[in-house]
Amino acid sequence: MVFSSVSFLYLFLPVALLLYFAAPRRAKNYVLLAMSLVFYFVGGQELVLLMLGAIVLNYVAGLLIEHFAQNRAAARAVLIVALVLNFALLGYFKYADFFIETVNSVFGTDIVPLEVVLPIGISFYLFQSASYTIDVYRRTVSAQKNPLLLATYVTMYPQLIAGPIVRYQDVCAELENRRHTWEGFSLGVRRFTIGLAKKVLIANNIAEIISIANYSSEDSVLFAWMSAIGFTLQVYFDFSGYSDMAIGLGHMMGFRFLENFNYPYISSSITEFWRRWHMSLSSWFRDYVYIPLGGNRKGLARQILNITIVWFLTGLWHGAEWSFALWGLLYAALLIIEKLFLGKLLKKLPKLVGVLYTLFFVIMGFVIFNAADVGKGLAQIGAMFGAGGIPLAGTESLYYLRSFAGIFIVAAIGATPLAATLVRKIPKRVLNVLEPIFCAALLLVCTGYLIDGSFNPFLYFRF
What residues are annotated to the active site?
A: 318
Closest CA to 156 of 200, 124, 195: 124
**Preceding amide of 24 cis, omega within 30:** no
φ, ψ of residue 166 to 5 degrees: the values are: -95, 125
Residue-wise burial string across 269-306, b where 16 or more C-beta atoms lie within 10 A, e elsewhere: bbbbbbebbbbbbbbbbebbebeebeeeeeeeeebbbb
Burial environment of residue 252 by CB neighbours within 10 A (0 to 12, 13 to 18, 19 or more)? buried
On whether the CB atoms of residues 260 and 274 are closer than 8 A, the answer is no
Can you tell me the distance from the alpha carbon of 334 to that of 428, in angstroms, rounded to the nearest whole number? 43
Count of CB atoms situated within 10 Å of the CB of 387: 14
Closest CA to 284 of 126, 147, 81, 79: 126
- Residue 284 belongs to what H/E stretch? helix 279-285
Can you tell me the distance from the alpha carbon of 198 to that of 214, in angstroms, rounded to the nearest whole number? 23
Can you tell me the distance from the alpha carbon of 438 to that of 444, in angstroms, rounded to the nearest whole number? 10
Can you tell me the distance from the alpha carbon of 338 to that of 352, in angstroms, rounded to the nearest whole number? 17
Triad 293, 363, 368: Cα angle to 5°: 65
What single-letter amino acid sits at 378?
L
Can you tell me the distance from the alpha carbon of 155 to that of 34, in angstroms, rounded to the nearest whole number? 9
CA dihedral 259, 263, 265, 268 (to 10 degrees): -90
DSSP string across 120-189: TTHHHHHHHHHHHHHHHHHTSSPPPS-HHHHHHHHH-GGGTTT-----HHHHHHHHHS----HHHHHHHH
Closest CA to 101 of 83, 114, 118: 114
